[in-house]
Amino acid sequence: MDAERGDPAGPAAAVAERERLVRGIERGGGLRDARWRAAFAAVPREAFVPVFHDSVLGGYERLSGDDADPLRRAAWLRGVYQDAPLALRVDDEGRLVSSSSQPSLMALMLEELEVTDGCRVLEVGTGSGYNAALLTHRLGASQVTTVDLEEEITAAARERLAAAGFRPYVVTGDGALGCPSRAPFDRIIATCSLGAVPTAWPRQCAADAMILAPLGTGLLKLRVAPDGRAEGRFLPTSVYFVPLRTPGRAAGADGAYEVDAVGLGLPREALGDDRFRFLLDIGAAGLLPQEAYVLWRRERRPRRERYGVTVEGDRQWFWLDDPSGPYAWELGGYPNGA
The whole-angstrom separation of Cα 125 and Cα 148 is 5
- The amino acid that residue 100 corresponds to is S
Strands laid side by side in the 51-56 sheet: 59-64, 51-56, 86-90, 96-100
Q: Check if the beta carbon of residue 261 is closer than 8 Å to that of residue 268.
A: yes
Q: Is 99 designated active site?
A: no
The whole-angstrom separation of Cα 234 and Cα 137 is 27
Q: Check if the beta carbon of residue 298 is closer than 8 Å to that of residue 290.
A: no
Catalytic: which of 98, 100, 101, 193?
101
172: exposed, middle or buried (C-beta count within 10 Å: 0-12, 13-18, 19+)?
middle
Collapsed DSSP state (helix, strand, coil) of residue 73: helix
Catalytic residue annotation: 101
